[in-house]
């Protein structure tokens, strides 16, 4: 684990929030099911213009070559390769302990791979989460990491500060550049909250938001850093079917902003109906890579999920749902 206590968007890296509590959803006051809809098209269009992310390049944006991660005697990742192109959504699946989160940690500078390298637009990825965020890679975590005593808007503004450029003098004097910058940040936060469907909660403390909305707020904060790559670690964990569908629509809209996305998820139906390409990690090795149809039908994938009879696993992969043996959440390391 990195020694940095926080990532550049202010996210605590150790599972705690700034006031020392966790935001695992248990503090959410509102449990009521709310209508969650896909982001309004006009908001998506405006944000895409503000964020200027898409460049039209055909070169891969994020590349991992031969990434290997050894923890003492345990090889958590062996020679993992990935090429993420602009506007692509890649899914990363695999049984518990396969190395998915470790891979995200290697991609975002939390871990320095034992060997291999990660590049962003052809340049070596900085080995420092703050600089990784500045370079254009944002992520969310398995365990929600918000600032519970701050409002939804304030949480998004924390992410936005990565991109705010005003000198110390202007900040101290609250000069015109500072005021412009603050106004721009507030406007962006408002748009991002509309984008993720949380306008009604803009002044609500993060800890009072229902669990699914906290996950969406985390995504809004990550997007506030203007990433070209977004890594989502189990974005639908704990969500009901309606929220899961809304999250699928949200990720499509994020792709429409020009952001390339990598998603870790145990819910195979979600992955197969969302992603352009799916990678299957098993015991730290990339077992299969291909289109959802290719991966779904691959006998090696069925076997990797063994623990249930092959017919049962195969049926789960075909129809969706988290394959047993892949769904429990133990031994996390972010």
Ligand X SMILES: Nc1ncnc2c1ncn2[C@@H]1O[C@H](COP(=O)(O)OP(=O)(O)OP(=O)(O)O)[C@@H](O)[C@H]1O
**Binding piece for ligand X, criterion CB under 6 A, among 92-100, 195-203, 212-220, 248-256:** 92-100
Residue 309 neighbours by CB under 8 Å, 6+ apart: none
Q: Does 100 bind ligand X (CB under 6 A)?
A: yes
Which residue in the set 84, 98, 253, 313 belongs to the binding site for ligand X (CB under 6 A)? 98
| SS3 label, residue 233 | strand
**Least distance in Å: CB of 101 to ligand X?**
3
**Least distance in Å: CB of 151 to ligand X?**
30
**Least distance in Å: CB of 272 to ligand X?**
17
> What are 105's two structure tokens?
């940690």
Distance CA 227, CA 233 (A): 16
Which residue in the set 33, 37, 71, 183 belongs to the binding site for ligand X (CB under 6 A)? 71
Which residue in the set 76, 194, 278, 280 belongs to the binding site for ligand X (CB under 6 A)? 76
Handedness of CA 164, 169, 171, 177 (dihedral sign): negative
Site track 232-261 with ligand X (rule: CB under 6 A), x = hit: ------------------------------
**Least distance in Å: CB of 61 to ligand X?**
23
Q: Does 294 bind ligand X (CB under 6 A)?
A: no
By C-alpha distance, which of 261, 266, 269 is closest to 304?
266
Handedness of CA 235, 238, 240, 241 (dihedral sign): positive
Distance CA 327, CA 5 (A): 29
> What are 125's two structure tokens?
């990825």
How many residues in the chain? 334
Site residues for ligand X, 23-52, by CB under 6 A, read none
Q: Which residue is nearest to ligand X (CB)?
A: 333
Q: Exposed, middle or buried, 62 (CB in 10 Å: 0-12/13-18/19+)?
A: buried
106 versus 222: smaller Cβ distance to ligand X: 106
Contact residues for ligand X, defined by CB under 6 A:
1, 71, 74, 76, 94, 96-102, 329, 331-333
């Amino acid at each position: 684990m990195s020694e940095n206590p926080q990532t550049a968007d202010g996210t605590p890296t150790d599972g705690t929030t700034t006031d020392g509590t966790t935001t695992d959803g248990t503090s959410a006051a509102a449990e009521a099911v709310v209508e969650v809809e896909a982001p309004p098209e006009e908001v998506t269009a405006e944000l895409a213009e503000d964020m200027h992310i898409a460049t039209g390049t055909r070169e891969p944006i994020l590349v991992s070559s031969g990434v290997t991660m050894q923890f003492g005697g345990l090889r958590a990742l062996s020679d993992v390769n990935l090429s993420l192109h602009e506007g692509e959504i890649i899914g990363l699946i695999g049984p518990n302990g396969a190395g998915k989160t470790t891979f995200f940690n290697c991609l975002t500078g939390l871990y320095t791979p034992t060997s291999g390298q990660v590049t962003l637009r052809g340049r070596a990825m900085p080995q420092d989460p703050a600089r990784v965020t500045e370079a254009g890679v944002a992520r969310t975590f398995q365990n929600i990491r918000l600032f519970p005593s701050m409002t939804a808007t304030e949480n998004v503004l924390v992410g936005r500060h990565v991109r705010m450029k005003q000198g110390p003098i202007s900040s101290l004097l609250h000069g015109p550049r500072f005021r412009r910058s603050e106004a721009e940040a507030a406007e962006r936060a408002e748009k991002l909250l509309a984008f993720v469907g949380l306008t009604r909660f803009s002044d609500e403390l993060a800890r009072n938001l229902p669990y699914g909305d906290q996950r969406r707020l985390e995504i809004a904060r990550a997007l506030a850093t203007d990433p070209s790559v977004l890594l989502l670690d189990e974005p639908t964990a704990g969500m009901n079917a309606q929220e899961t569908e809304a999250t699928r629509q949200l990720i499509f809209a994020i792709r429409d902003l020009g952001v390339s996305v990598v998603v870790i998820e145990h819910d195979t139906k979600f992955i197969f109906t969302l992603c352009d390409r799916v990678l299957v990690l098993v015991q730290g090795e990339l077992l299969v890579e291909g289109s959802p149809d290719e991966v779904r039908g691959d006998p090696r994938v069925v076997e990797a999920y063994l623990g249930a009879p092959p017919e049962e696993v195969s049926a789960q992969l075909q129809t969706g749902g988290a394959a047993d043996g892949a769904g429990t959440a133990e031994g996390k390391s972010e």
